[in-house]
């Protein structure tokens, strides 16, 4: 990895049942994630993805580019929108710098339907010697 290099984009389409499965795995049973009628009643377009699910996709894009889970040293994100099931998410990133200690600083975003729902993500990836 060198400054200016782009990560291999990661695209994933969450299926219509993902929010229910993720609620079970995460323990977050907020009805905006699992109840279509409730979500619409509070002004949402329908059930929305858990923010931590979208963040996990950002982490996944970095670990796949960095050579595995051990490469991800740090990750920070800014949640800036809502994701919905059954619409493709795409994570993109660019290497900003590579430090002398072998850590690459990568800036990335996660977009859905042309809207960046995670912005200004920054990851530190330990590069293989």
* Bridge partners of residue 122, in order along the sequence: 76, 107
pLDDT score recorded for residue 78: 95
Burial track 17-39 (b if 16+ CB lie within 10 A, e otherwise): ebbeebbeeeebeeebbbbeeeb
Q: Band the pLDDT of 100: cuts 50, 70, 90.
A: very high
**pLDDT at position 129 over 80:** no
Tokens of 85: 């099931």
Pairing label, strands 10-12, 103-112: unpaired
Q: State residue 128's pLDDT score.
A: 79
- CA dist 73 and 113 (Å) reads 29
Mean pLDDT of the chain: 95
Cα-only R_g, the chain: 16
Tell me, yes or no, whether 3 lies in a domain: no
The answer to the question of residue 80 being in a domain is yes
118: pLDDT strictly greater than 70:
yes
Q: What CATH number is associated with residue 83? A: 3.10.129.10
Enter the pTM of the model. Answer: 0.91
pLDDT digits (tens, 9 = 90+) for 28-75: 999 999 999 999 999 999 999 999 999 999 999 999 999 899 999 999
Read off the pLDDT of each residue in 8-30 and give the average, rounded to a whole number: 95
In a domain, residue 1? The reply is no
Domain tally for the chain?
Answer: 1
| Domain hosting residue 72, numbered range | 10-126
């Amino acid at each position: 990895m060198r400054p200016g290099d782009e990560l291999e984009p990661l695209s994933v389409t969450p299926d219509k049942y993902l929010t229910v499965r993720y609620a079970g795995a995460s323990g977050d049973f907020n009805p905006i994630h699992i109840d279509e009628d409730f979500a619409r009643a509070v002004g949402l377009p329908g059930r929305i993805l858990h923010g931590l699910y979208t963040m996990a996709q950002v982490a996944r894009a970095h670990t796949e580019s960095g050579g595995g889970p051990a490469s991800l040293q740090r990750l920070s994100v800014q949640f800036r929108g809502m994701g919905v099931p059954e619409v493709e998410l795409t994570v993109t990133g660019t290497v900003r710098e590579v430090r002398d200690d072998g850590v690459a600083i990568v800036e990335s975003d996660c977009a859905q339907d042309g809207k960046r729902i995670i912005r200004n993500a920054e990851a530190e990836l330990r590069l293989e010697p």
